[in-house]
Structure 1
Amino acid sequence: MLKLFRATAILEGISYLLLFGMTMPLKHWADIPEPNKFVGYAHGILFILYVVVALIFCWERKWGIKRYIILFVASLLPFGTFYADKKYLKELA
């Protein structure tokens, strides 16, 4: 489960950065909306997967709600999932 969660965290972070750092500017400044659509779908799926896997992971590890909230908030911030991976997940590997 740890490998799945770490992979999901990294992929979700990458998709977040691609969406807001690359495809949104393409959509709004260059009038090229197609990449935004595909990256947006991928990011949405990865975000939901991250939240669900984080919940299951916290449940299995018997971590409290506080740590789950930290992991959830990390998914909302740029580079947040990378921080969560380094701070909470990498030390478990």
Structure 2
Amino acid sequence: MHNLPFATPADVGLCPLRAQRLLDVLQSEIGRQRLPGAVALVARRGKVALFEHLGRQDPAAGTPMTRDSIFRHLFDDQTHRFGGDDDAHGAGPAAAE
């Protein structure tokens, strides 16, 4: 990361409740063992509003997730985008397929 300054979600126009909801959903998925762990990074207006690590990087070894954990690309040749470029109905790029 290029040493972006940190801010609260509210300071950059994001809803703090939704930022917490994101973390709660990730933690719930980890608790259900659907994800071993996650790193959430949200930046807006040149500032980092959320940067959290949850769960385990290696559940078998018990290695905790860290902010600088490296992830293997799990998708084949498809481009996957999450949020941000949704169409007018909020369905996103997948709705056109």
TM-score, with structure 2 as normaliser: 0.30
Between Structure 1 and Structure 2, which shows a larger proportion of helix residues?
Answer: 1
Larger RCO, structures 1/2 (Cα 8 Å, 6+ apart) = 1
**Larger strand fraction of residues:** 2
Which has the greater radius of gyration?
2
